[in-house]
Structure 1
Amino acid sequence: MFAKGQTVIQYMEQLAPKHLAYPDDKDRIGLQLGTLQKEIRTVMVALDVNEEVVDEAIQAGADLIIAHHAIIFRPLRHIQTDSPAGKVYERLIKHDIAVYIAHTNLDNAEWGMNDWMAEALGIQNPVPVDETQREQLYKLVVFVPATHADQVREAVLNAGAGSIGNYSHCSFNVDGTGTFLPQEGTNPFLGSAGNMEQAAEVRIETIVPHGIRGSVIQAMLKAHPYEEVAYDVYPLDLKGKAYGLGRTGKLESEMTLAAFAQVVKEKLDVPHVRVVGDPDRIVKKAAVIGGSGSRYYQAARFRGADVLVTGDVDYHTAQDALAAGIALIDPGHNAEKIMKAKVADWLQEQLGKHRYDTKVIASAVNTEPFRFM
C-alpha cells in the first residue's frame, strides 16, 4: 500500500512543524506546485529544485519532491515555458511531480537542519543561537474509571504527553468518585439510563506540548471507555522547549581555529572553507547556522561562541565580526545538503512503521552553483 501525499506531508510536518517557520510572509513553505491528492510511490528529498534535480526525479519515478529551498519565492506574473524557471515548472507539471518546501521550519525544528549540523561538528548540548519562540504547554486533565486508568494513561503518555525536561511519562493521579445521570437514548459504559450513578474514577493530569495536543487528545478518546469523556485542556504559564535559529554549545574538545576549520570541511563535506580570525585561536565553544546566518554573529558572540559556522559571509560582515572578537568559518550555503539523507531516512522510517510501500530517496545531484578553481 502506498501512502497518500497528505499522509507523507503529515509525517514531514511532525519533523518540521509549520508553526516553527518565521512568522512573516517572506518564507515560502508548504506545497508550492502540484497536488497531494494522489498516491505517492516515490519521494525525492532535495536541497534545491533545478533542471538536473527534476530530470533525476523523472528518472526515479518520483511523485513528490520535498525540498529545502523554494522554487517559487516571489509572486509570479507569468510562466513562460521557454525561460529557465518556466521549463522547470512545465516539466514538473507534465510529469505530475508535486513540490513541497520545508525551510525555516526545518531549520528551527528539534533534530532538524541546525541540530544535524551541530551534531556533525561535535557541538555538545546545543541551544538556539537566536531564540524565536517557546513551545506553549497545556495541562490535560481527564477523568477515567479506575478499571481503565492504566489503559488511558498509557495511551496519553505514549502519544508524547508528560515530558518535563529530561523526564518522560510524567503524570499526577488522584482517586475520587464521579457521578452522572444517563439520559434517555444514551448507552453508558456504567449503569443504565435514568439511574443516578457513582463510579470510582481516577483524575489523570499531565502536560501536553502545543504541537501534539490534537494527537494526544485523539489517543485519549480512543482509549477511554466512556461514551462522553469528561476532560479539560488549559494553557499554562510554564513554557516548554526553546526553538530558534542556529545552535551553539561547547565542543567535545577544544582546538585551534585552523583545526576546527578542517573539521567543518570534512564533516560538512565541502571542498573548501573561508576563515575569518587568527588560525591559532583556541575554540572551545562554537555556533552553527545553516544557510546565510552571518548577520547573527553578535547573537552567537553573546551566547559565548568563539566561532560561528555559517554560509554567504560578506566582506563587511567579516570585518565587523573580526573587530567584535568572534571568528567565522564559511562552508558555503550548500553545506545544508546534509538535510537530504537525514530527511529521507527519517521519512522512510515513519512510512515503514506504518507499513507503507512508499520509497524515499535522497537526491544525488550536486546543486552547488560555485566551482572552485
Structure 2
Amino acid sequence: MSNPNSHYATIRQVASALEEMAPLTLAESWDKVGLQIGDPNRPARKVLLSLDSNDEGVIDEAIRIGADLIIAHHAMIFKAVQTIRTDSPYGRKLQKLLAAQVGVYVAHTNLDIAEGGINDILAGRLHLENVKVLSRVHNTRLKKLVVFVPATHHELVRKAVGDAGAGWIGNYSHCTFNTPGTGTFVPREGTNPFIGEQGNLEQVDEVRIETIVTDRNQDAVIAAMLEAHPYEEVAYDIYPLEIMGQELGVGRVGDLVQDMTLEQFAQFCKGQLGVEHARIVGPHDRVVRRVAILGGSGEEYWPEALKKGADVYVTGDIRYHYAQDALAEGLCLVDPGHNTEKVCLPALQAFLQAKMNEYGYDTEIVVSETNTEPFSFV
C-alpha cells in the first residue's frame, strides 16, 4: 500500500522528464513514439522499463508489481489498428492494459539518436574512445540570443543564461559577447519601472549580451534570463542562424582501447552486451581497432561504417546478402542480435530516477525482469 503522503509524478511529467534526454522531435518521421495508451494526467506511482511493450509477459509483470506506466523502446501500436478482438493475442494484450489502467509510452528512434541514448550506451559498453555519430540524421538548430541588461545586473543575467545551457560552442560553455551602450525608454501609465519614473525619458547604462542557444534549450534559457533580469519588460531578440549545431544521428563509431582479433572482439561483445551467441562475418584472425555500432537492426548502414573507417560493424538482424556485400568490401561484422538494446535499461532507470528525485516525486522507476528475447540456440 502506498504512503498517503507520497507525491507522485503524472504520466505526462514522467514523459517530460524522459524527453529532456530524448525529445520527440529527434524521432524519424516514420516512427511511432510518445504516449500510446493511457491517461497522461494519471499518477505514475511505479514505472516499468522494458525493451518491448507488446510482450504479454511484460504486461503481466507491470500489472503484478502495480506499475501505472510501461516505458518501452519498441512500440505497442505501430501499424494502424483496424479491429480490437480480445480473442486474438494482440487484442488480449490491449484489453489487459486498458482494464488495469497501465499506460504505454514509447521512446524509439528518438532514444537511438539522443545524446546519452541507446547508441551512446552501447558505445560505452564497448569502451570506445573518440566516439562520433555513424550516420547523421540532422543537426541541432542554433539561434543567437541577444538581451539588453542594466550594467548593475549584467553579471547576474550572463551567469543565469550560461548556467541554463546557453553559450555552448564545442566543448566550451558560457560563451558570450558583451557590448556596453545606452538604453532609452519612457515608462508609461500603468508601469512599475525598475529604473526611472513614469512619463520621463530615461537613459541607462546597459550591456548587450549575445550568446548561442539551441532549439532544445531555448525555453529554459529564456526562463532563466527573465528570472534574473530586473526589468518589468525585458528587451531581447532571437535570430535563427545558418551555421550547423551538434550533429545528431543513428549509430556510433569509435576506437577500441587496444587492438583485438575479430574472434576476441566477438567474445568481448558477448560479455559486454550480455548475449550468449554472436554471428561473425570475416576472418577470425583479422585485427580490428575501429568499431561502428548501431543498436537494433542496422544492416543497411554498413556502407556508412565502411566510409567512417570501421574495421568491424556491430548490429543485429543482418541478412545473408548484406553480409556478403560487406565482406566483399573488407568490412567485418558482428551480429549479437536485436535484443542487445536491453543494456540501455539500467542507465535509463538511473536517469529517470534521478529526475524524479530532483523534482521531488516519489515515483519509482524499475527495470523489467521479463526476458523478451524470442530466439534460443541449439
Q: Same fold (TM over 0.5)?
A: yes
Quote how far apart the aligned CAs of 1:221 are. 1.3
Cross-structure match for 1:40: 44
Q: Distance in 1 between matches of 2:121 and 2:304?
A: 20
In the alignment, does 2:68 pair up with 1:63?
Answer: yes
* Per-residue CA distance 1:82-127 (angstroms, 9 max, x = gap): 2111111111111111101000000011110000001101211211
Q: What does 1:1-373 align with in structure 2 at a 5 Å threshold?
A: 1-22=7-28, 24=29, 26-49=30-53, 50-373=55-378
Q: Distance in 2 between matches of 1:324 and 1:41?
A: 52
Question: RMSD of the alignment, in Å?
Answer: 1.0
**Secondary structure in 2 matching 1:318:** helix
**Secondary structure in 2 matching 1:116:** helix
Unmatched 5+ residue regions in structure 2?
A: 1-6
After the TM superposition, which of the residue ranges 203-212 and 266-275 deviates more from structure 2?
Answer: 203-212
Q: Distance in 1 between matches of 2:26 and 2:82?
A: 29
Residue identity over aligned pairs, in percent, reads 52
Q: Distance in 2 between matches of 1:21 and 1:67?
A: 14
**Secondary structure in 2 matching 1:218:** helix
* Per-residue CA distance 1:154-203 (angstroms, 9 max, x = gap): 22111111111111111111222111001111111111110111111111
Quote how far apart the aligned CAs of 1:10 are. 1.0
**Secondary structure in 2 matching 1:260:** helix
Q: Distance in 2 between matches of 1:228 and 1:342?
A: 42
- The one-letter code of the counterpart of 1:5 is I
- The one-letter code of the counterpart of 2:94 is Y
TM-score normalised to structure 2 length? 0.96
* Per-residue CA distance 1:15-36 (angstroms, 9 max, x = gap): 11111111x2x21111111111
- The one-letter code of the counterpart of 1:206 is T
TM-score normalised to structure 1 length? 0.98
Runs ≥4 residues deviating over 3 A: none
- The one-letter code of the counterpart of 1:278 is P
Q: Distance in 1 between matches of 2:145 and 2:369?
A: 45
**Secondary structure in 1 matching 2:254:** strand
Q: Distance in 2 between matches of 1:106 and 1:126?
A: 17
Q: Distance in 2 between matches of 1:108 and 1:173?
A: 35
Q: Distance in 1 between matches of 2:14 and 2:350?
A: 13
- The one-letter code of the counterpart of 1:236 is L
